[in-house]
Amino acid sequence: MTTKSLPLTPELHAYVVAHGSDPDEVMRDLIEETLAALPAEARMQVAPEQAAFLTFLTRLIGARRAVEVGTFTGLSSLAIARGLAEGGRLTCFDISEEYTGVARRYWARAGVADQIDLRIGPAGDTLRGLPYERHLDFAFIDADKVGYPVYWAELVPRMLPGGVIAVDNTLRGGRVLAPRDADDRAIAAFNDEVMADVRVEPVLLPIADGLTLARVR
């Protein structure tokens, strides 16, 4: 027994993926294409076990209206769309036509393209196009780190009571303890901001590079 999360060796990570989060053919092909075509950027893709968790979580809360900030090649959006309740919709915000072009192909292949609305442009601006009322069940933030406070400020007022916001990369490879660059400093400050926000109940989980979940009051 242990009182803290286990560090994952490559072998233990493979075991985790194989026991409950093994990607299907569509997801495997998407992961492999991203690694092959975009080797330098592939680290922006969520981990396979994280994708499985996003589907599980979205399905668990019965989400019908969801938002994703930062789509890249589409693995996380595909995972979220698969977990939506019948008739559910996911609105994705990204700045890259190139990366999301890959995402569109895999959304179509997985049969979820008609559930996803992709909006291209700076999310700080495009998020403001959403109705300013509580209507969202789920949101996932995984974009430029210095923009997190802006995305948080736009999303929290739009979340239904009991809705969940998931935020990726909130451990920054452990560098939140000793930030080295602007992104590290931004996440360390953001984590403190979330903890002090009385509108939510947050928990930071050591999944992949750190995943913060916040339930909106």
* Residue 121's CATH number: 3.40.50.150
Cα 105 from Cα 117, distance rounded (Å): 14
Residue 4 lies in a domain: no
Q: State the pLDDT at residue 210.
A: 96
Q: State the pLDDT at residue 83.
A: 98
**Closest of 55, 47, 89, 109 to residue 72, by C-alpha:** 47
Residue 2 lies in a domain: no
> Percentage helix, strand, coil, to 5, in the chain?
50, 20, 30
Q: State the pLDDT at residue 82.
A: 98
In which residue are the tokens 């994708």 written?
A: 51
Which residues, in sequence order, are CB contacts of 54 under 8 Å at separation 6+? 46, 76, 79, 80, 83, 140, 166
**Closest of 153, 146, 142 to residue 186, by C-alpha:** 146
Q: How far is CA 114 from CA 57, 73, 88, 179, in A?
A: 21, 17, 10, 41
Collect the ranges in the chain with pLDDT lower than 70. Answer: 1
Residue 189 lies in a domain: yes
Domain boundaries, position 201: 10-216
Query: Does residue 15 come out as left (phi exceeding 0), alpha (psi in the -120 to 50 range) or beta?
Result: alpha
Spell 88-126 as b/e; 16+ CB within 10 A means b: bebbbbbeeeebbebbbbbbeebebbebbebbeeebbeb
Cα 82 from Cα 198, distance rounded (Å): 31
Cα 83 from Cα 112, distance rounded (Å): 10
Residue 51 lies in a domain: yes
Residue 138 lies in a domain: yes
User: In the chain, how many domains are there?
Assistant: 1
Q: State the pLDDT at residue 92.
A: 98
Q: State the pLDDT at residue 1.
A: 66
Cα 98 from Cα 207, distance rounded (Å): 28
Alpha carbon 130 to its chain's center: 18
Which residues, in sequence order, are CB contacts of 60 under 8 Å at separation 6+? none
